[in-house]
Structure 1
Amino acid sequence: MQLDTNSKKVEALGKILERKRCLIVLDDLSSVTEWDMIIQSLPKMESAKPDCNYLQGKRILQKHCSSEKGSIYKLEVLANRDALDLFTKKVFKEAINLDEQPAMMEEAQRILKKCNGLPLAIVTIGGFLAKQPKTPMEWKKLNDHISAEFEMNPELGIIRTILMKSYDGLPYHLKSCFLYMSIFPEDYSISRTRIVHRWNAEGYSSEVRGKSTMEVADSYYIELLDRSMILPFHYLFGSRKGFSSCKLHDLMREISISKAMEENLVFRMEEGGSMNTQGTIRHLAISSNWKGDQSEFESTVDLSRIRSLTVFGKWKSFYISDKMTLLRVLDLGSTSGLVDHHLEPIGKLVHLKYLSLRGCEDIFHLPDSFGNLKQLQTLDIVRTKIAKMPQTIINLTKLQYIQTDNDINRRDVWTSFCCVVLPFMARLVYPGSVVFPRGLSKLKALHTLECVDITRGEAILQDIKRLTRLHKLAVAGVHKKNCQEFCSTLSHLTCLKSLFVGSQGEAGLHGCLDGLSSPPKTLRSLKLWGALDKLPEWIAGLHNLVKMGLWYTELTEVEGTIQVLGKLPNLSVLHLWNKTFKTAEPCCFATRREALFPSLTLLVLEYEPGIGSVEFEEGTAPKLELLFFRHSTSFSGLSSLPSLKEVRVHEALHNDDMKDTRAQLAMNPNKPVLKFIA
C-alpha cells in the first residue's frame, strides 16, 4: 500500500488496524519524515508494544521505537550453511552436497561471498545459473565479470536496480563519501579513523552547529553504517565509537566502482583493468598488482588534476610527480619498498592536507622540505622508524593530528638501530617515542599529539602546556627531574580526553604522578606504563574515565587498586597487561564486599602472572560482556555475570583444565561462548 498525506488509504488503514491485530512491514523506510507520516495514520494502542523489524533505517527506529527494551529487532542475513542450501536449491532444484565437487564449491563460495547472505541476491543469481551449464567454468565466468553481468543481463539487473535504490536514496554528501570508498581493494578493512580523516581533508564535511568538521565527517560514517551501505567489521568493546573499521559489501562495492567511474571520481590502476579514462579524474588508486611503467602512469591520467593518491603494494619512484599540484591526500599506508629519499619531492605538494606513511617500516626521517606543507592537517607515521621530527614542522600551523606509536615495545627495533648505526642517538632518544623541536607551541590547532619524548629538558613541556586545544596526548620519558613540570603541564590541558604516560627503568613512574593536584576533568582514557608501586590518589576522582590500561606498573596494593578502579562509575574497559601487580605469590583479583565495576563491559588480563584467580561476587560487574585472558587463571562467579556474552582464552591454554570455567559458563543464563584465539 502506498501512502501520501492526502490519500484516503491513510484513513482506511487506520480503520483496519482498529479492528485487527496486524504485523506491519515497512519497506525502504529512509527518513524520519516518512515515519512521522505513517505513524500519524496508525491508531493509538495504549496496551500494545510496537515491535520494529529493520534491515535499514536503524537511526529512525531508535528515535521512535526504543521506549520498550528489546522492541527493535534487526533482521540478520543468512548464515553460511543456510545461504549455500538456498543457492543449491535454486540452481539444482534441490539441496545437494557440493563438498564432493571442490571446483564447483570454490566458485559457489565466491558467489555467496558477493551475496553476503542476502536472500534476494542468492535467489536471483541462483535462478540465473539454473538455466546455464552447471560447470565450474561457467560459474567462474560469472564471478570474474559480475559487474558486466549486472549491467547487461536483465535477470541479474534486478539486483543492481534494487541496490541502486539504496544509493539513489542517499543525500548528496553521503553519495560522495560512499563513492570515495571504491578506492579501497575488495575485502579491505577500512579504518574508521583513516577514512574520516581523508573525508575531512577532501572537504566533504563542514562545521555544523558547534560540531567540528571531523565530528561531522564521523557522523557521515555512522549514517552509512545505519543505512547498511557499509558493513561493520571490527567492534571495539566499551567504546562510544563502536566499530573501528568497516568493509564494503561486494555487490555494493560494484555499485560504488561503477558510479565512481561514471562520474570520473575514482580511477583504479590495476592489472587487467581498463586504462581508458574520460574526463578529469580526481582520485587515483594504484592496486598492488599493477605492473605498468612511468610512461603508462603519466599518459593515463592528468596528474595535474588529481586530488588524492593511494598506493597499495610496492612503491615506484615516479608515483610522486611535480605535476600533482592540487594533491590533497597522499596515502601510502603499508606501501612496501618506500625509503627516505623517495619522500624528497613531497615538499612540492603544497596543498597536501593528509599524509599517511603508516606501516612504512623503512622510513627513518622526514625531509626538511616537509615544512613546506603549510596546509597539512593530519600526519600519520604509526609503525615507521621516525624518531625525530624536522625543525620545519613548527611551520605547519594548520596541523591538527600527529599520530605516532605509543607502543614502547618498539624500543627493541629502534634501540638496535641506534646502537649499530647512530650510537650517539641512543643516549638522546627515548625508545618508542618521537623527539619534537622547540617551538611546538606554534601549532595551536593540535588536537592529537603522540608520542612525545620529554626526556630532555623542560622546553618541550612548556610548549605542550600552551597547546590548550589538545584532546589526545601521549608522552614517554617521565622521570623525577621533569615530573613536576609534567604535572603542571597536565593541569593546563583542560580539554584533554585521552592520556598515555610512559617511563622505563627501575624507577619508572614511581612518585612521578603524585604531584598532579587537578587532573583534567574531561579525561576519558588513561594508560600508564612504568613502575608505580601504588596508583596516584587523583585517579579515584576521574568520574568520566571510560578506559584504563596498566603496563609494568608493579602495583603492590592489589585490594586497594581494585577498590579504586571498581568505584569509578563510568569505567567500561580495563586492560591489565604485563606485570600490573608485583606480589610474592599470585594474588586474587576479587570484587567482594561492594557492587564494584558498575559500568565495566571489557576486562583483559594479558600475561599477568600477578593474578592467580579472579572472583566475581554477585552484583559486581553487571554489564561485563567480554572477558579475555592469556595466562592460566582460575575463576569463580562467572555464572552470576548477567551480561556476559563471551570469554576469550589464548590458544596456548587450550589443553589446560577448563572444565570448571565451562561449567560456570553453562550455568550462566546468557550461555556465554568460550573461544580460543591466537
Structure 2
Amino acid sequence: MKNGSQMIVTTREASIASYCSKNQENVYKLKGLAKKDALFFFTRKVFMENEYLYRQYPELVEQAEQILKKCNGLPLAIIAIAGFLTNQPKTVTEWRKLNESLSSDLEVNAELDTIRKVLLKSYDGLPYHLKACFLYLAIFPANYKISLTRLLRRWIAEGYSTEVRGKSSYEIGESYLMDLIGRSMILPSWRSSHSRKEIDSCQLYDIIREVVISKSMEENLVFRLEAGCGLNSPVTTRHLSVGNDWNGDESEFESTVDLSRVRSLTIFGKWRPFFISDKMRLLRVLDLESTSGLVDHHLKHIGKLFHLRYLSLRGCHGIYHLPGSLGNLRQLQTLDVTGTNIIKLPKTIIKLRKLEHVHARGVGSNDNCVNQEYPEEVPKIMRSKPCILTCSSVGFCVACCAPQLLKDCMDIDGDTNRRGVCTTCCCSYMPMLMTRRSSCGVGVPRGIHRLKALHTLAVVNVSRRKAALREVAKLTGLRKLGVTGIDKSNAGELCLVMGSLSCLQTLLVQSEGMPGLSGCLDGLSSPPENLESLKLYGNLVKLPAWINGGLKNLVKLKLRSSRILDHDAAIQVLGRLPNLAILHLRKESFKGKEVHLHFQQGAFQTLMVLELSSPGKFESVCFDKGAAPKLELLQYYDQPKAEVVVSEEDDNQFEQAPSVWLFSGLASLGSLKEVLLKGDNYKGDFVRNLRSQLESNPRRPVLKME
C-alpha cells in the first residue's frame, strides 16, 4: 500500500498467516537467528554490554555454544536463558550445570518459567489426536533426524493414524505431521536432491524437546532408559527407548520398567539379549534400526510377539537370516531389513496376510556383473562347481567349529555361535558361490502373491526364480516395486508386471552386466498411468519408446549405467515430460567419445533438480534461454582421475578437471538457487567461470563445494 496503514500479524500457525492474506508474497516465515547473531544477542544480554566472548571469556565459549545450540536460534529461548545467567557467576562450572540440567531447570526455575509457559501453551492448544503424536517424538535422541517414512509407519502401527473418509492412514499421518510443522512444533528437513517428497525428515527443537520429554514422562507415554536414570520402583510406560549410553544389566532393565505395559521398544546403541522379554506380550513396534551387536540367534524368540505390527532391522549388518517363526506375526504391517545381509525371505512370510511394506536389500552402486566371471589367475579346474563346493564346505566347516574365525573374517558385529555361523554359510554364502549370481535384492518364496495387502516390495531378485515375476504381477495393490536380475529370459514377465500393476507409483529396475536392459523393456505398450518415480539401472543403449508421451505423471527419473548412444534424442524426449521435477543422470548414463547435452528453449518446463554424476565423457552442457525455467539446484560430480588436494580458498589447487567451458547458459536460469560441486576434481579456471556465470544471473545463485 502506497498510502494508508499496514497491519502486521504474528503467529506460530502457518494456516492463520495464510488466512490473513490472500497474496502469499505477504506471508514471511521468520527464521531462527544465525549462529553469529545469536551469540551477539546472548552475550549482550548476559553481560549487559557488547563483550567479545572469545576474547574476554574464552573458557565460556564452548558452554555458550552448547546453550545456543539447544535454543535453535529462537529469540525467546535465548533471552530467557541469558536473563537467568545474568545473575549467575560467570564460570564454566555454573554454565555447565545449566547445560546438563536444563530440562529440570525449565520446571523449577522461575526465571526460565517463561519458556515453559509459552511451550506448554502451544502444547495445550493442540487437538487431542496431535498431542500423542507430538509427545511420541520424545523416543528419539537429541539432534536426531527422524525419517518421515519411519515415523509415519510407526504412527500407523501404534494406531495414532488410521484411515478416515477414504484417506489412507499414511495420508492422515502426513496431514498430522504437516499440522505440527505449521504450528512450529517440529523442525522439518526440506527436500533433498534424492527425494521427490517435499520433506525427508524432521526433528525437535532442542529447547522444545526438553519440555516434550518432561510431559511424555508425566503422561506415562515415553520413558528413555539412559545412564544414571535409576528409579526406586518400576516405571509404567507405553513406549520404551534405550539410549546408547545405558550399560545396565538384565535385573536393572526389568526392575526399572514394567515391561508388560510396553507397546514399543526402540534401541539406540548396542544390543543386549534380554531386551526382548517374554513379558512384552503387547509389543506393537520393535525398532532396532542401526543397532550394533545384533546377530541371527538373538531373533529366535521373535515369533512370540504376536501383536507386532512394525519390525525394523535396518542397518543391522550381523543379520543374515530371518527365523521361520516370523510367520507367527500375523499382525505385522511393516518389515524393514534394508542394510542387512539377508538374501532370501523365509517361506513362512506368506502367512502374513496383513503385511503392507517389505523393504529389503538394495541394489548397491555397481551395475556390473561382478560374480559372472572368475579372475584369469584362478585355474580352470578351480572354477568347476565340484571344486567350489568342496573348498567352500571345508572352509565353512572350519568356521562352524570356530565361530570366532568367521566373525573376524567377515567383520560380524555381535556374539556369534555355531548355529548362527552354519545358517549364515548355508543360507547366504553357499548359494551365492554356487550360482555365481548377484547378492543384490532378496529372493521371495513361492506363494508371495497371497500377500494381497502389499503396497511396497523392494528389492526382489528375480534371477533366482523366474516365476516370482508372474506372482508379483498378481499383487495389484502394489504402489512401490523394485526388481533386480532382469535379462532377456524374464523380460516378458517384467513387461507383464508393469502392465498389470495399475496402481504402481514407484518402480526400480536393475540389470547387471551385458547386454543388461537392452531390449528388455520394449515389450511394454504403455507404462502404469500413475507412475511418479522411475529408476532404470543397467545397459539400455536407448530409451524405451513408451517414455515418450507415456509418463504424464512422472516426477522423478534416475538413470545409471544406461550407456545411451543418441544423446540429443534422449534429452529431447526427457525434456517433453510434462511433470518431471527431479532428474538424476548417474554413472555412464551416456556413452560416446564426446557427450554434449543441449537443454533447448521450452524444454524441461517443470525441472527443479538436475544431478549430473559421472554420466559420461562430458564436453559441454548448454542451457538455452527459456530452458528449465524452474531449475533450482544443479549438482555435478566428476570422477577424479588422480588424488588431488584442494581447498575452497585457493582455486588454483584444482587440477585434472573437466573443461573450463563445460557449462554455459547458467546466467539465463531464472530460478537457479544453488550449484553444488561434489568431489575435488576441478581446476581454478573452471570454478571461476562458474562463479562468473552465477554472478551474471539476477538471482545470484550460490556455488557450493563438498
User: Is TM more than 0.5 here?
Assistant: yes
Correspondence 1:255 to 2:211: yes
Q: Identify the residue that residue 32 of structure 1 maps to in structure 2.
A: none
CA RMSD of aligned residues (A): 2.1
Q: Identify the residue that residue 502 of structure 1 maps to in structure 2.
A: 510
Q: Identify the residue that residue 617 of structure 2 maps to in structure 1.
A: 610
Q: Identify the residue that residue 652 of structure 2 maps to in structure 1.
A: none
* 1:205/1:213 contact within 8 Å kept: yes
**How does 1:399-414 map onto structure 2 within 5 Å?**
399-409=355-365
2:5 alignment partner, one of 21, 24, 31: 21
* 2:514/2:539 contact within 8 Å kept: yes
1:591 alignment partner, one of 590, 599, 611: 599
**How does 1:455-604 map onto structure 2 within 5 Å?**
455-540=463-548, 541-583=550-592, 585-592=593-600, 594-604=601-611
Measure the CA separation in 2 of the matches of 1:296 and 1:74: 47
Correspondence 1:196 to 2:152: yes
Q: Identify the residue that residue 49 of structure 2 maps to in structure 1.
A: 94
* 1:238/1:572 contact within 8 Å kept: no
**How does 1:594-673 map onto structure 2 within 5 Å?**
594-631=601-638, 632=658, 634-653=662-681, 655-657=683-685, 658-673=687-702
Q: Identify the residue that residue 73 of structure 1 maps to in structure 2.
A: 28
Distance 1:582 1:497, change over 3 A: same
2:270 maps to a residue whose letter is: K
Number of equivalenced pairs:
629
Say which SS state the counterpart of residue 38 (structure 2) adopts: helix
* 1:644/1:672 contact within 8 Å kept: yes
Measure the CA separation in 2 of the matches of 1:138 and 1:403: 48
Correspondence 1:311 to 2:267: yes
Measure the CA separation in 2 of the matches of 1:341 and 1:141: 43
* 1:414/1:432 contact within 8 Å kept: no
What do the CA deviations read for 1:364-412 (whole angstroms, capped 9, x no partner)?
Answer: 1101111111000001111111110000000000000111233233899
1:609 maps to a residue whose letter is: G
Segments of 5+ residues of structure 2 without an aligned counterpart are 375-387, 396-424, 639-657
- Structure 1 residue 280: Cα displacement: 2.4
Q: Identify the residue that residue 299 of structure 1 maps to in structure 2.
A: 255
Measure the CA separation in 1 of the matches of 2:194 and 2:295: 38
Normalised by the size of structure 2, how large is the TM-score? 0.86
- Structure 1 residue 443: Cα displacement: 0.4
* 205-214 vs 335-344, which moves further: 205-214
1:93 maps to a residue whose letter is: M
Q: Identify the residue that residue 398 of structure 2 maps to in structure 1.
A: none
1:339 maps to a residue whose letter is: V
- Structure 1 residue 579: Cα displacement: 0.5
Correspondence 1:122 to 2:151: no
Say which SS state the counterpart of residue 333 (structure 1) adopts: coil
Say which SS state the counterpart of residue 370 (structure 1) adopts: helix
Q: Identify the residue that residue 404 of structure 2 maps to in structure 1.
A: none
Q: Identify the residue that residue 347 of structure 1 maps to in structure 2.
A: 303
Measure the CA separation in 1 of the matches of 2:190 and 2:323: 35
Say which SS state the counterpart of residue 505 (structure 1) adopts: coil
Measure the CA separation in 2 of the matches of 1:97 and 1:276: 47
Measure the CA separation in 2 of the matches of 1:611 and 1:617: 17
Measure the CA separation in 2 of the matches of 1:625 and 1:411: 30
* 1:622/1:643 contact within 8 Å kept: yes
1:665 maps to a residue whose letter is: L
- Structure 1 residue 628: Cα displacement: 0.4
Measure the CA separation in 2 of the matches of 1:448 and 1:89: 54
Distance 1:59 1:22, change over 3 A: closer
Distance 1:95 1:414, change over 3 A: farther
Correspondence 1:289 to 2:245: yes
Say which SS state the counterpart of residue 652 (structure 1) adopts: coil
* 2:235/2:257 contact within 8 Å kept: no
Higher relative contact order (CA 8 A, sep 6+): 2
**How does 1:412-491 map onto structure 2 within 5 Å?**
421=425, 422-426=429-433, 427=435, 430-491=438-499
- Structure 1 residue 582: Cα displacement: 0.8
Q: Identify the residue that residue 42 of structure 1 maps to in structure 2.
A: none
Q: Identify the residue that residue 48 of structure 1 maps to in structure 2.
A: none
**How does 1:161-310 map onto structure 2 within 5 Å?**
161-237=117-193, 241-276=197-232, 280-310=236-266
* 2:291/2:316 contact within 8 Å kept: yes
Normalised by the size of structure 1, how large is the TM-score? 0.90
Segments of 5+ residues of structure 1 without an aligned counterpart are 1-16, 28-55
Share of identical aligned residues, percent?
Answer: 52
Measure the CA separation in 1 of the matches of 2:167 and 2:633: 32
1:439 maps to a residue whose letter is: G
Measure the CA separation in 2 of the matches of 1:619 and 1:305: 61
Say which SS state the counterpart of residue 304 (structure 1) adopts: helix
Q: Identify the residue that residue 97 of structure 2 maps to in structure 1.
A: 141
Measure the CA separation in 2 of the matches of 1:22 and 1:64: 12
* 600-609 vs 545-554, which moves further: 600-609
Distance 1:404 1:62, change over 3 A: farther
Say which SS state the counterpart of residue 647 (structure 1) adopts: strand
Q: Identify the residue that residue 385 of structure 2 maps to in structure 1.
A: none
Q: Identify the residue that residue 36 of structure 1 maps to in structure 2.
A: none
* 1:307/1:327 contact within 8 Å kept: yes
* 2:369/2:438 contact within 8 Å kept: no
Correspondence 1:397 to 2:350: no
- Structure 1 residue 609: Cα displacement: 2.9
2:678 maps to a residue whose letter is: H
* 1:429/1:435 contact within 8 Å kept: no
- Structure 1 residue 278: Cα displacement: 6.4
